[in-house]
Amino acid sequence: MEKILVFGGTFNPLSIAHGDLFLYAKNYLKASKGILLPTGDRFIKCWKHYSSNDVIDSKIRLEILEKFVSLHSNIYLNLDEYNQITYKTYDTLKRIYMSNQNSEIYFLLGNEKISEIFKWYKIDDLLTEFHFLFIKRKKEKVKLDDQTSNLILKHKSHIHFLDYNNKYLDVSSSLIRKAIIEKNIELLEKYTYNFEIEILKKEGLL
């Protein structure tokens, strides 16, 4: 059965770590398709409580993702959450599955998220119908309560871990946003893509 890797996030903005990790995980799974799943402004501002000044315009974020996708084969964008068609991971993955019913869906996320997944909407259904691939960073330790530990044990066949210890480990979108504000091109050249810098310049952010 073919595998599809789905990577969701704010991508505020895309970092070279996002791209490298996504491609690394796709190659690890030997997935036939990779899907980037950007969230919309509503999630960033209402759920993550970012101020407007700390959010890259959604059209710019999308333009950067579109360029990234255009440079790689079998990588696609899904805009269900960006366009506010769905808000919950379960609903979004269900829609993706309905168009790919002969595939297994793997959802990629950071290892730090594992301590909060028991709070997710329809988490039992999520872990029954789909796979979660958690990225383990070097020396990262996550404490789990009994509820989460039992959940992992119950769905252990659908929960997977992948070590990721490369040079982009400490790159973050917040660091990139700071570099944009400070117009630190040298730092941006290390932590973003050349096409991303050109888009930021075109849009007047640099």
The whole-number pLDDT of residue 111 equals 83
Sheet with 2-9: strands ordered across: 75-77, 33-38, 2-9, 103-110, 131-137, 159-164
User: For residue 139, what pLDDT is reported?
Assistant: 61
Instruction: Give the pLDDT score at 79.
Output: 96
| Residue 19 vs residues 135, 145, 151, 177, 189: alpha-carbon distances, Å | 14, 31, 30, 17, 14
Q: What is the mean pLDDT of each run of 10 residues along the chain (206 residues)?
A: 94 94 96 94 62 80 97 96 92 96 94 85 96 82 78 92 82 91 94 96 94
Q: What are phi and psi of 183, to 5 degrees?
A: 55, 45
Which candidate, 68, 61, 57, places its Cα nearest to that of 26?
Answer: 68
Q: What is the pLDDT of residue 49?
A: 56
Closest by CA position to 110, among listed 163, 32, 70, 157: 163
- The residue whose two tokens read 């440079």 is 71
Report pLDDT for 43: 64
DSSP for 89-126, written as a single string = HHHHHHHHHHT-TTEEEEEEEEGGGGGGGGGSTTHHHH
